[in-house]
Amino acid sequence: MTPIKLLILPGDGIGPEVMLEVRKVIDWFASNRGLAFEIDEDLVGGASYDVHGTPLTDAVMDKAQSVDAVLLGAVGGPKYDVLDFSVKPERGLLRLRKEMDLYANLRPAQCFDALAEFSSLKRDVVAGLDIMIIRELTSGIYFGEPRGIVTEGNERVGINTQRYTEAEIARVARSAFELARKRGNKVCSMEKANVMESGVLWRQVVQEVHDTEYADVELSHMYADAGAMQLVRWPKQFDVIVTDNLFGDLLSDAAAMLTGSLGMLPSASLGAPMENGRPKALYEPVHGSAPDIAGQGKANPIACVLSFAMALRYSFDLGDEADLLEASVNDVLAKGLRTPDLGAGEGTRTVGTAEMGDAIVEALSERQSA
Q: Is 88 or 203 the residue whose CB approaches ligand IPM more closely?
A: 88
Q: Which of 26, 75, 111, 222 binds ligand NAD (CB under 6 A)?
A: 75
Looking at 26-34, 75-83, 165-173, 322-330, which segment touches ligand NAD (CB under 6 A)?
Answer: 75-83
**Can you count the helices (H) and strands (E) in the chain?**
12, 14
- Number of amino acids touching ligand NAD (CB under 6 A): 22
Identified catalytic residue from 12, 49, 192, 314? 192
Of these partners, ligand NAD, Mn ion, ligand IPM, none, which one is at the site of residue 64 (CB under 5 to 8 Å by kind)? none
Distance spanning both ends of the chain, measured CA to CA: 26
Catalytic residue selected from 225, 317, 320, 323: 225
Note if 68 is an active site residue: no
- 142 among known catalytic residues: yes
State which of positions 92-131 bind ligand IPM (CB under 6 A): 93-94
Give whole-number Cα distances, 24 to 49, 116, 243, 280, 356, in Å: 27, 27, 34, 24, 11
249 catalytic, yes or no?
Answer: yes
Count of alpha carbons within 13 Å of 121, Cβ hemisphere only? 22
Residue 344: other Cβ atoms inside 10 A: 12
148, β-bridge pairs: 159
Distance CA 259, CA 265 (A): 8
- Asked whether position 9 contacts ligand NAD by CB under 6 A, the answer is no
CB of 2 to ligand NAD, least distance (A): 30
User: Dihedral through CA 195, CA 91, CA 298, CA 366, nearest 10?
Assistant: 90
In the set 40, 42, 50, 90, which binds ligand IPM (CB under 6 A)?
90
d(CA 114, CA 351): 16
Contact status: 208 vs ligand NAD (CB under 6 A): no
Q: Toward ligand NAD, which CB reaches closer, 76 or 279?
A: 76
Active site residues: 142, 192, 225, 249, 253
Which residues are part of a known binding site for Mg(2+)?
Answer: 225, 249, 253
